[in-house]
Structure 1
Amino acid sequence: MNLVLAFISLILFIHQTHSNTCIAYASYLGNETDRAALLAFKNKVFKDIQGNMSSWNESISHYNWPGVSCSHRHAGRVTALDLPRQKLVGTIPPDIGNLTFLRRINLMANQLRGHIPKEFRRLFRLNTLVLEQNELGGEIPWNLSSCVGMRYLFMNYNRLSGRIPNELRYLVERELTAFVVSQNDLTGEIPIWLGNGSSLIQLELGDNHLRGQIPAELGSISKLEFLELDSNNLTRRIPSSIHNLTTLVYLDLVGNNLHGQVPQSLPNATGLEDLFLSSNSFTGNVPVNLGNLRNLKIISFAENQLQAGPDGLSFLTAFTNCTELKLLDFGHNKFTGEIPASIANWTNTLQTLSLGSNQITGNIPPEIEKLNGLQELELCNNSISGEIPLGIGKLKNLTILYLWGNKISGTIPSSLGNISHLLELRLQHNQLEGDIPPSLGWCRQLLVLILSDNNLNGTIPKEVVGLSSLSVFFDVARNFLTGPLPLEVGNMSQIVYVDLSDNTLTGEIPSTLSQCIMLQNLNMSGNIFEGSIPPSLRTMIGLQYVDLSRNRLSGQIPIYFENFTVLEWLNLSFNSLEGEVPREGLFRDMKCISITENKDLCGGIKELGLPACKVRNTKKWRKLPKLKASIAVTVSFFIVLACLIVVVYWRRKSTMRPSTALPIEERFQKVSYAKLRQATDEFSPSHLIGQGSHGSVYRGMLDGNRSVAVKVLNLRQKGAFKSFLAECEALRNIRHRNLVNIITVCSSIDFTGVEFKALVYDLMQNGSLEQWLHPSENQLDMPKLNLRQRLGIAIDVASAIEYLHHHCHTNILHGDLKPSNVLLDHDMVARVCDFGLARFLHGSPNLDASQCQASSSGLKGTIGYVAPEYGLGGTSSLQGDVYSFGILLLEMFTGMKPTDVMFEDGWTLHEFVKTAQSKSLLKILDPSLLSMEYPAGIGNDQINDANAVRFEENVVEIMRIGVLCSMKLPNERMDMTNALSKLVAVKEKFLKHGM
C-alpha cells in the first residue's frame, strides 16, 4: 500500500514539475514576444523629441520602459501602451498585434502615419484604443470587430476615409461606450445599427462627408450623453426620437442642411447643457418651452431662418429659468421686435449675448447693466434706436461690444472708459454725435476702435489716438471731426488699418506717423491736410493702400513711393502737388495710381498725358556777371583745400593708431578690459550664457545698473577676427527695434598681454528662441510659446531681415539666421543678433534681390538653414536669408529641427510641410502648441468649432508663407517684404476674432 502511495506521489510530483516548467516556458516566450513587438514599434518611430523611448533597450526589463504597463498575474505581459503627446513620428508596425494581453493603447496627439494595422484584430482583450490627432490614413479596419472587449474607440483628427464598416456593429452591440471618428474623410450615410449601442455614451461623427438623414434609431441609445454630427451633409428634419434621450448632455448638429421647425419636443431631453443648431435652414419660431432646459449652458441657433412669434422676442424671457446659461446666440436670423427688459433677470453667468444681423427695433434696455458677467455683447446690424445706456460702463468684464449698423443716437458714453478689458469697440454706421470721449484712452487693451459713419465732431483726443494697444483698426471716417491729427498717432506702432477720411482735419501730416511700422491701409482723404508729404514716411514699406486725395497737400510726390513693393494703390488726386511724377515702381501702372487735379505735375509715363518737365536753362549761368563767377571759383577752391587738409590729417592719425581701430569706435565709446572683467565676475563660468564657433557670451552688470551680454572673441579661432570686423561694420550701419542693440566695443589687451576683443550688448532677459523651442534637460519646466507669441516673434524677425535687405544704405545679408540667433527681451520682443557672417551686397536697395550679390564668396552658415544653392557654389544673395527665414518659420510652428534624423535622402523640413499642405497641417503642428490652444483637443465638446476653423486657417497661411520662403530655387522664393506683409495680415485676422 505504501509502495502504491509513493508511486502516486512520484507521478504527481513529476506532473507538477512539468506543468510549472511549461508555464514558465510559456511566460518566457510571451515576454520575449512582447519585448520584440515593442522594439519593432520603436524601430518604426524615427523621431522621438521627448526621448521617452530612448531607454527602450536591453539594459532594463521592458516592464520598466516609459509608457509600458505590464500584468501582475502574467509577469512581463504588456497590458497598456501609453505614449500620448510625445511628438512621435513614424508608423504603427503590425507587430503590435502580438501584444495579445493589451487592454489599452493611447497614442493620441503624435505624428503617426500609414494605416491602422489589420493585426489589431488579435487584440481581443483591448478595451481602449485612442489614436486621435495623428496622420493615419486608409479605411477604418473592419476586423477591429474582433476586439470583443472594446469600450472606447477614438480615431478623430486623422485622414481616415471610406465608409464606417458594418462589421463594427458587433462592437456597438456589445459594450462600446465611446465611438469617436470625427474630423476625418468618411463618406456614406450614418449606419442605423449604431442605434443598437445600448452602452454608447459618446458618439462623435462630425466633420466628415456623411449624407442622408439622421437615423431615428439613434434615439434608442438610452445612455447617450454626447452626440456630435456637425459639419456633414445631413438633410431633412431632426427625428423626434432624439428628443427623448433624457441622458443627452451635448447635441451638436451645426453646419448641415437640416430644415423644418425646431421641434417643440426638444425640451424632453431634460439633461441638455450644450445645444448647437446653427448654420442650418431651420424656420418658424423658437419654442418657448426651451426655458425648461434648466441645465442649459450654451444655446446657439445662429445662421438660420428663424422668426419671432406674435409676442416678438418675449421668448427670451423663458431663458431666465436657465440659471447656468453662459452663451446665447440667435444672430443671423429674421427676428423682429424689441429686446425685453426681462433680460435683467438672466443669470450673471451669461458671458456671450449675440442677437446681431436680425431686424430688432427699440432701445437697448438700461437693465442690461445688471449682466455683470457679460464678456461679449453683439447687437449689430439691426434697427435699434435710442441712446447707449450710461450704465453700460458697469459691464467690467466686457471684451467685445458690437453695436454697429443700427440707428443709435446721442453721445458715446464716457463710462466706456471704465471697461478696462475691452478689446473691440465697433459703433460704426449709427447716428452718434458729440465728441469722442478721451476716457476711451483708459481702455489699455483695446485692439479695435471703429467709429466711422456717425455725426461725431470735435478733435481726435490724443489719449485715444495714442493708445499703443490699438493694433488692428482705428477708423473714424465720415464724421465731422476737426483740428490736427495728434503727434501721439505714432504710439500706435502696431496698427494695421487707419481711416480718417471725410472729416475736416487740418494741419500737416505728422511725421510721427512713420512710427506705425505695421500699417498696411492708410486713408486720410477728404480732409484739409496741408504741407508736403513727410519724408519720414519712407520707412512705411508695408503699406498696401494709401489715399491722401482731396486735401491741400503741396510739394513734390516723394520718390520713395517707387520702393514700396507691396503698395497696390496710391491716390494723390485733388491736391496741389507739383514737379515731376516718378516713373518706377507702381508709377509704371496707371491702374495703381491716381494723381488727377494736381495742376503743376509734369513728366511720368506717357499714358498719364502730363506735359514734359521744363529743362533748366544752363545758359543763364554763363550770363552772370564775372564778379559772381569769380567769387564762386574762389569759394570752391577754399572748400577743396579744406577737404584736402582734413584728409591728410586723418590719414596721419590713422597711421599712428593700431590697425584694429574700427569705424564703430567713432560712434561708441570703448570700454576697458578691466571693466568688462569686473562686470562678468572675471568671466566666471557661472555667467556664461552661450558659446559659439568664434567666442563666448557672458552675462554681466555694467556700471552697476545695466544688464549686458558680453561677447568675447576667441581670436585663436580661424575667422574670429574677420567675424569681429564684420559684426562691427554691420552694427555701425544699422538701427532697428528688432535688431540687437550694441552698447559699446572693446579692443584692447588682457592682463597677460594677449589681444582682447569683445562686443557689449543689452542683455535679452528671455534668452534665445532656440531655448524656447528646444529646451535642454534642465529647462524642461520652461513655459511653451503660444500661437500669438510665435506669430509675434515671426513678424519681429521678418521686420528685422526686411529692414536689412531693403532699408539700409547698402543691402545687408545676415548670413546665419537660426533660432539661436534670435533673442527675446523682457517683453518677448524678438531681436536678431550675431552679424559675424553678415555681408554687404553690391547694388542699391532698389535692386531686386537677384541682382544683389555678396561682396565675398564662400558664405558660411549653419547646416539646415543654409540655402541649397550655396552648397552648389552659388553666389550669396538676399534670397539666401529668405530661405533661412522660411525654415525658421516652419521650425517655430512644427517644433521640428531641420537637422532632425528623419530628414535625410532629400527629405527636408520644407518637403515635409509641403506634403502635409494638401491634407491637414494640424497633424504636423507642434503638439505642445496644439495642446496649449486646445487642451481638451480640437473637436472636444467644449470647443467653439468656428474658432477651431479659424485657428487652422491661420496655421495654414503661416505654413504656406514658410514653404514659399524656403523653395529650392531662389527665384521661386517670396521676398521678405511680401513675407512680412503676409504675416501681418495673419496677425490681423488672428486678433480680429480675439483668438
Structure 2
Amino acid sequence: MSNNKLSGNIPPDMGKLKRLQEMYFHINNLSGNIPHSLGNLSMLLKLSLSDNDLHGSIPSGLGSCQSLLLLNLSINNLSGTIPPEIFSLSSLSIGLYLSRNRFTGPLPMEVGNLKNLGILDMSENMLTGEIPNSIGSCTLMETLGMQGNFFQGTIPSSFSYLRGLQKLDLSRNNLSGKIPNFFVGFSSLYLLNLSYNNFEGLVPTNGVFKNSSATSVVGNSQLCGGIPEMRLPKCNFKESTKTKLTLSMKLIISIVCGLLGVISMLSFLYVCWLRKKRKEITSSSSGNLLLNLSYQSLQKATDEFSPANLLGVGSFGSVYKAIINEGRTTIAVKVLNLQRREASKSFLAECEALRNIRHRNLVKILTVCSGVDYQGNDFKALVYEFMVNGSLEDWLHSSTIEDQVHQEQRDLNLNQRLNIAIDVASALEYLHYHCQKKPIIHCDLKPSNVLLDDEMIGHVGDFGLARFSSEDNNNSSTNQSSSIGVRGTIGYTPPEYGMGNEVSSYGDVYSYGILLLEMFTRKRPTDDMFQGRLNLHYFVQEALPNRVVEIADPILFREREEDIAMNNSHNNSRTRRSKIQECLTLMFGIGVACSVEQPGERMNMKDVVTELHLVKKRLLKTTSRP
C-alpha cells in the first residue's frame, strides 16, 4: 500500500492478520501512533512505515516480532527513547532504519544483539551519550549511519571488529579523542565521514584515508597530518621530543644524586602521576556527567533552581547557572516551561536547529535532558556552554556587571561594539548561506540572545523560534509558516511578519539592523520616545549624516586615561573624534539599510559582513580585540 495518498491512522485491527509476512505503508500521509497490536504479527518479516507523519514512541511490543528481517520507521515524527526490545530482534538482517525522527536518550546497550544486521541508520535524531562498546558485536554490518545526533565521547575500540563496514558516517556529533588507526585496515570501507566533531591528533594517510573524496574530516579544528588534499596543518612533534629529553635529564640527575635523590624523585613523580590521573578522571567524569544529566542532577547543580542562579527568563523557559563536577564545571541550563503549549515545539525546534550547525559565533549545546520531575511532571531542558560575560542586553542597558568578586562598569567601547556586530553578522551569514542542509532563519534576534564569552566574543543563542527555509536565499521568503503566532519580539520583528507574511532571511536582516542601531545609540526600539510613526529606524535615518553625534551613545566619545596619554595634542584628540564620527555614520548607514520596511530592499548578510570588515579595516586599523 506504499506510494499512495493514504491518510489517517493505521487501523489497530491490522494486528489480527496473524499470518501477514510483509507490510508496506511507506510514502503516504499516515498520522497518529504506531498501533501496539502490530506486536502480535509474529510471522512478520518486513515492516516499512517510513515517509509518513507518525507520532509518539515506538511500541515496545514490536520486540515480539521475532521473525523481522527489515524494520523501516525513518522520516516520521516519532519521539522518546528507542525501546531496548527493538535491538533485541536478533532476526534483523536486512536493515533497521530509524533516521530523521526525534528520538532522544542514549543508544541502548542491546544494540549488540543485532549480530546479523547489514544496515543500521539512526541519523538525524537527538540521541545522546556515548556509543556503546557492544556495537562491536554487529560484525556483519556494512552500513552504519549515526550522523546528526548529540553522541559524545570517543569512537569505541570495539569498532575494530566491524571489518565488513563499507559506509560509516559519524558526522555532526560531539565525538572527541583521536581517530582510531584500525580504520586503515578496513579493506571494504569506501566512505568514512567524521566531519564536524571534536577529534584531535594525527589523521592517517593509508587505507580509506588515501582518498580525500572517500574520507571527510572537515570541522575538526584540532586534527593535523593526513594527505595534502585534506589541507590540514602539519603535526608538531617538537614538544614530545622536549619531554623525552627532560625525562632523560631527570633520570641522569636522579642517578648522580644517589639513593636519597632517587627516593625524592620517585616520590615527586608519584605525586605528579596521581595529579595527572586525577585530572584524567575528572575530565572523563565531566564528559560523562554531561552525557547523563537528569532532573535530579540539574536540580542539585542549580541549588533547586534557586532564584540566585537565575540568569534570565525567556518566552518559553528560564535559564539557570549550574555547577557540576564538584564545582569544577559551570554550565547554563534552559528549563522549558511546559505549561505553555508552545514550549515543547520550541524545545524540538531548538534541538533541530542546533544539531545541524557548528560555528564559533553560535552558542554550543552540550546535551539535552528529557524526563520527569519529583511530582511526575514532564521535564525538558537544554544544556549550553556557560558564557561568563552574560548577554549584550546586560551590557547595553545595565550600569554594572556582577561577577564572583566585585562589580565593574559595563561600558562597551567602539572597537568592542564593532567586533560584536561582526560576530553576530557572521553567525547570521552562516545560518543563511553555509548550513549543510537548508538555510536556518533565527526569527528572534535581539540583544538578550547575543551572549558574550570571556574574550567578549559574541555568540548568537536561543533557537526556540528558528525555522528551516525551504527556498534559496535569492527569495525573500519561505513557504513555511510558523505555528507559534507572530515570530520574534516586539521592536525587533519585521513589519511583514505582523501582516502574516512567512518567515524569511530578510526578517533576520531587519532584526539585525535594529540591533545594530540599538548597539550604537543605546536606545531600545521600544523606548517611550518612539511614538506614532517615529521608530528607531527613522530616528537614526533622519539624523544621517550630520547629526550622528547627537544620537550616538555619548560613552563612545569618552576618552579613557590611556587615550588621553596618547592624544597629548588637541589635534590628535580632534582627529580621533572625527574618526569615531565617520565610523558611526557608516555603521548607522548599514543599520538603516538593513531595517527598511520593504524586505527586498534590505541588504543581505553576506554584504553586511563585507561592509563591517571594511569599516574595521579602514577606520580602526586593527583586527585585534581590545
- TM-score between the two structures when normalised by the length of structure 1: 0.33
Where do residues 111-260 of structure 1 align in structure 2 (5 Å cutoff)? Answer: none
Higher relative contact order (CA 8 A, sep 6+): 2
Shift of 1:856: 3.0
Match of 1:700 among 322, 325, 328: 322
Say which SS state the counterpart of residue 456 (structure 2) adopts. coil
1:665 aligns with 2:127: yes
CA distance in 2, matches of 1:790, 1:727: 27
- 1:824 aligns with 452
Where do residues 263-274 of structure 1 align in structure 2 (5 Å cutoff)? Answer: none
On the 8 A contact 2:400/2:410 being kept in 1, the answer is no
1:838 aligns with 2:466: yes
CA distance in 1, matches of 2:325, 2:297: 9
Say which SS state the counterpart of residue 382 (structure 2) adopts. strand
Where do residues 302-317 of structure 1 align in structure 2 (5 Å cutoff)? Answer: none
- 1:811 aligns with 439
Where do residues 371-520 of structure 1 align in structure 2 (5 Å cutoff)? Answer: none
1:786 aligns with 2:413: yes
On the 8 A contact 1:670/1:745 being kept in 2, the answer is no
CA distance in 1, matches of 2:439, 2:344: 22
- 1:524 aligns with none
Amino acid at match of 1:972: E
1:850 aligns with 2:476: yes
CA distance in 1, matches of 2:469, 2:478: 6
CA distance in 2, matches of 1:943, 1:927: 19
Match of 1:648 among 72, 87, 101: 72
Where do residues 21-36 of structure 1 align in structure 2 (5 Å cutoff)? Answer: none
C-alpha deviations, 1:181-219, integer Å up to 9, x for none? Answer: xxxxxxxxxxxxxxxxxxxxxxxxxxxxxxxxxxxxxxx
CA distance in 2, matches of 1:869, 1:898: 17
Amino acid at match of 1:961: I
CA distance in 2, matches of 1:656, 1:765: 33
1:984 aligns with 2:610: no
Shift of 1:645: 5.3
Amino acid at match of 2:410: P
CA distance in 1, matches of 2:494, 2:72: 45
C-alpha deviations, 1:299-342, integer Å up to 9, x for none? Answer: xxxxxxxxxxxxxxxxxxxxxxxxxxxxxxxxxxxxxxxxxxxx
Say which SS state the counterpart of residue 661 (structure 1) adopts. strand
Shift of 1:783: 2.9
Match of 1:949 among 549, 563, 578: 578
On the 8 A contact 2:80/2:102 being kept in 1, the answer is no
1:909 aligns with 2:531: no
Shift of 1:818: 0.3
Shift of 1:646: 5.5
- 1:687 aligns with 309
Amino acid at match of 1:852: T
CA distance in 1, matches of 2:622, 2:295: 53
Where do residues 558-597 of structure 1 align in structure 2 (5 Å cutoff)? Answer: none
On the 8 A contact 1:859/1:876 being kept in 2, the answer is no
C-alpha deviations, 1:153-187, integer Å up to 9, x for none? Answer: xxxxxxxxxxxxxxxxxxxxxxxxxxxxxxxxxxx
- 1:722 aligns with 345
CA distance in 2, matches of 1:656, 1:962: 45
1:881 aligns with 2:504: no
Where do residues 298-377 of structure 1 align in structure 2 (5 Å cutoff)? Answer: none
Amino acid at match of 1:848: N
Shift of 1:696: 0.9
On the 8 A contact 2:349/2:465 being kept in 1, the answer is yes
1:975 aligns with 2:609: no
C-alpha deviations, 1:660-699, integer Å up to 9, x for none? Answer: 7342225224521122122212222211111122111111
Q: Which runs of 5+ in 1 are unaligned?
A: 1-639
CA distance in 2, matches of 1:894, 1:940: 28
CA distance in 2, matches of 1:814, 1:942: 45
On the 8 A contact 2:420/2:457 being kept in 1, the answer is yes
Amino acid at match of 1:850: S
CA distance in 2, matches of 1:981, 1:646: 52
C-alpha deviations, 1:533-570, integer Å up to 9, x for none? Answer: xxxxxxxxxxxxxxxxxxxxxxxxxxxxxxxxxxxxxx
CA distance 1:676–1:707, shift in 2 (3 Å) = same
- 1:897 aligns with 524
On the 8 A contact 1:849/1:879 being kept in 2, the answer is no
CA distance in 1, matches of 2:80, 2:355: 22
CA distance 1:864–1:650, shift in 2 (3 Å) = closer
- 2:422 aligns with 795
After superposing the two structures, state which structure 1 stretch, 660-669 or 695-704, moved more: 660-669
Shift of 1:735: 1.0
On the 8 A contact 1:727/1:836 being kept in 2, the answer is yes
- 1:920 aligns with 547
Shift of 1:781: 4.8
Amino acid at match of 1:989: R
Shift of 1:778: 7.9
Say which SS state the counterpart of residue 492 (structure 2) adopts. coil
CA distance in 2, matches of 1:832, 1:721: 21
On the 8 A contact 2:545/2:585 being kept in 1, the answer is no
Say which SS state the counterpart of residue 949 (structure 1) adopts. helix
Say which SS state the counterpart of residue 312 (structure 2) adopts. strand
CA distance in 1, matches of 2:569, 2:589: 27
On the 8 A contact 1:764/1:825 being kept in 2, the answer is yes
Amino acid at match of 1:746: C
CA distance in 2, matches of 1:714, 1:683: 13
CA distance 1:707–1:700, shift in 2 (3 Å) = same
C-alpha deviations, 1:858-881, integer Å up to 9, x for none? Answer: 442111100011112222211010
On the 8 A contact 2:450/2:461 being kept in 1, the answer is yes
Shift of 1:648: 2.8
CA distance in 2, matches of 1:861, 1:715: 19
Shift of 1:920: 2.8
On the 8 A contact 1:939/1:945 being kept in 2, the answer is no
Amino acid at match of 1:981: T
CA distance in 1, matches of 2:503, 2:73: 38
CA distance in 2, matches of 1:754, 1:946: 63
CA distance in 2, matches of 1:849, 1:896: 32
Shift of 1:904: 1.0
Shift of 1:786: 0.5
Match of 2:370 among 747, 752, 758: 747
After superposing the two structures, state which structure 1 stretch, 791-800 or 780-789, moved more: 780-789
CA distance 1:860–1:650, shift in 2 (3 Å) = closer
Alignment RMSD: 3.2
CA distance 1:651–1:929, shift in 2 (3 Å) = closer
CA distance in 2, matches of 1:723, 1:984: 34
1:766 aligns with 2:389: yes
Shift of 1:810: 0.5
Say which SS state the counterpart of residue 956 (structure 1) adopts. helix
CA distance 1:840–1:924, shift in 2 (3 Å) = same
Say which SS state the counterpart of residue 469 (structure 2) adopts. strand
Count of matched residue pairs: 354
Shift of 1:651: 9.4
Identical counterparts, % of pairs? 49
On the 8 A contact 1:886/1:962 being kept in 2, the answer is yes
CA distance 1:910–1:739, shift in 2 (3 Å) = same
CA distance 1:906–1:725, shift in 2 (3 Å) = same
CA distance 1:930–1:852, shift in 2 (3 Å) = same
On the 8 A contact 1:660/1:747 being kept in 2, the answer is no
CA distance 1:965–1:688, shift in 2 (3 Å) = same
